Amino acid sequence: MTAFIIGILILLMSCTITFSGVFIILLVRDYINDGRPEDLLFAFLVLLAGYILTGLEGAAIYKKQGKGGFIETFVAYLKLIRYFPKALLYIVWYGGGLFLLILTFYCLKESGRELGVYFAVTVLWAVLTYFGHKALRKIVLGNIDPDSIEWPNSYYEKDIRTIVAAVEKCDTNGTFSVKSKKGEAYCADVLCTAFYDEEKGELMPAKGYLHWFVRNQTYDNCGKIKGFTENGLYRVRVREQMKKNTDGKEEHQGFWLEKIVDKKVQCPELQAYVDEYNKPIIVKDEFFGELEYDKTEERFEGEMKLGEDSITVYIYVENEPEKWGEYIKNVAKCVGDISELDNKCRRYASQNIDEVFDEDSNELSKQEIYDALSLICLDVYETEIIAVYGSDKLFGSPEIRVSYDKEKGPYECYMEC
């Protein structure tokens, strides 16, 4: 019965979309032929009614499928209308370009005198689209005044400064939500190794972020949209973010980025610091062998032998060289015999993960899971070790992570597909 009702609702939704579209096209045609403004008004009302009816039908389908409540789903659907201006911008821009392209081909076929004009305009549109895509994305994302953002116990200096930033990671993983006085806002940023104030001749040798705020969430290319094309030195205009501590003292928190002034800047003082910072740090240990420290991830990376296989080892520790020797010795004791650790973790994973299938969708037994798993790497922290396993024999090639303690042995595991 449920499947029948869902089928009826899908049919109703299809009819709503089809008839709304047909009526809108007819009304727009009448407006073009007769020039009556009421035709456009009726077209808008039909569009609105179709949008609401489609939302009601979609919410009913979701409720019948058990994916959510009727009211919550309907309200969430109605909120999608806030993306209409953005969609309209894309439709006008790309739709207009497609229309020009069709006119060009038509004139080419008819050998009309307008061919040259349409062809030139189409080429201009293509060039603007190629070079103006970032600008179009900027318009869509928007930009928000930092004074409207509510950070706890912090504020922005009023003066705008020009500094040089050594960008270490020009494209971050996306935006995150922040509290704003003017509705929703999202923060995007790029990671920097250090900064240099050319006016004061002052080097600021501390990692930090250049950040800015946008109206819409995005998951990639944040830095590229803003204008960061590669890692390196950039001259930027910023406002410094300061934090007030409980003792009344203030400390630096970061910089809000107004705009990029220059790329590939020459700044010998900052470049010398970056070159020194990026020199590889190698530590040799009796247990782990040669380890290389990654300052960005704040971890050592090395390899250990497990039979004939090489296992990658990541040792997470803060950038405090004076503590490294003792820390590495302690984690070596926690790891102990890697063969014993591997055997215990594989056995624990095979006994505590259910419904594991092979590539042919056959469910595997506990022993088959145990035999299929192979150790990929160890993530070693101060208080725990995570053994990461993988297998090409399992469906979807998942990663299985097992938490391990020297005293307790393995105590938790989960699978990531």
Q: Say what percent of the chain tops pLDDT 70.
A: 79
Q: Are residues 294 and 245 in the same domain?
A: no
Q: Are residues 131 and 151 in the same domain?
A: no
Helix, strand, or coil (residue 291): strand
Give the helix/strand (H/E) hosting 259.
Answer: strand 250-263
Instruction: For residues 36-58, give the mean pLDDT.
Output: 81
Does the pLDDT value for residue 137 go beyond 60? no
Last residue of a domain, one of 247, 272, 297: 272
Q: Are residues 226 and 344 in the same domain?
A: no
232: tokens are: 């390196």
Q: Give the span between the Cα atoms of 294 and 282, in whole angstroms.
A: 10
Q: Give the span between the Cα atoms of 291 and 416, in whole angstroms.
A: 28
Q: Are residues 28 and 112 in the same domain?
A: yes
What CATH number corresponds to the domain at position 202?
2.40.50
Q: Indicate the residue type of 159.
A: D
Last residue of a domain, one of 93, 108, 140: 140
Dihedral sign from CA coordinates of 142, 192, 237, 161: positive
Q: Are residues 347 and 288 in the same domain?
A: yes
Does the pLDDT value for residue 67 go beyond 80? no
| DSSP per-residue string spanning 207-269 | -EEEEEEESS--SS-HHHHHT--SSEEEEEEEEEEEEE-TTS-EEEEEEEEEEEEEES---HH
Q: Are residues 248 and 172 in the same domain?
A: yes
> Is pTM beyond 0.75 here?
no
Nearest to 151 by CA among 247, 239, 244: 244
Q: Are residues 124 and 248 in the same domain?
A: no
pLDDT at residue 184, as a whole number? 76
User: φ and ψ at 387, to 5 degrees?
Assistant: -90, 125
Q: Are residues 129 and 201 in the same domain?
A: no
Length of the chain: 417
Domain span at 324:
281-416
Q: Are residues 122 and 163 in the same domain?
A: no
Which of 7-21, 266-280, 394-408 is modeled with the greatest confidence? 266-280
Region of poorest pLDDT, from 25-34, 75-84, 307-316: 75-84
Does the pLDDT value for residue 366 go beyond 80? yes
Cβ atoms of 238 and 174 closer than 8 Å: no
Q: Give the span between the Cα atoms of 391 and 409, in whole angstroms.
A: 22
Q: Are residues 234 and 285 in the same domain?
A: no
User: Could you give the number of structural domains in the chain?
Assistant: 3
Q: Is 186 exposed, middle or buried (0-12, 13-18, 19+ CB in 10 A)?
A: buried
Cβ atoms of 140 and 82 closer than 8 Å: no
Give the helix/strand (H/E) hosting 29.
Answer: helix 2-34
pLDDT at residue 60, as a whole number? 82
Cβ atoms < 10 Å from Cβ of 400: 24
Q: Give the span between the Cα atoms of 170 and 190, in whole angstroms.
A: 5
Last residue of a domain, one of 242, 272, 302: 272
User: φ and ψ at 72, to 5 degrees?
Assistant: -60, -45
Q: Are residues 290 and 408 in the same domain?
A: yes
Instruction: For residues 365-380, give the mean pLDDT.
Output: 89
Angle between helices 37-64 and 70-78 (to 10 degrees): 150
Q: Are residues 288 and 366 in the same domain?
A: yes
Return the DSSP state at 198: T
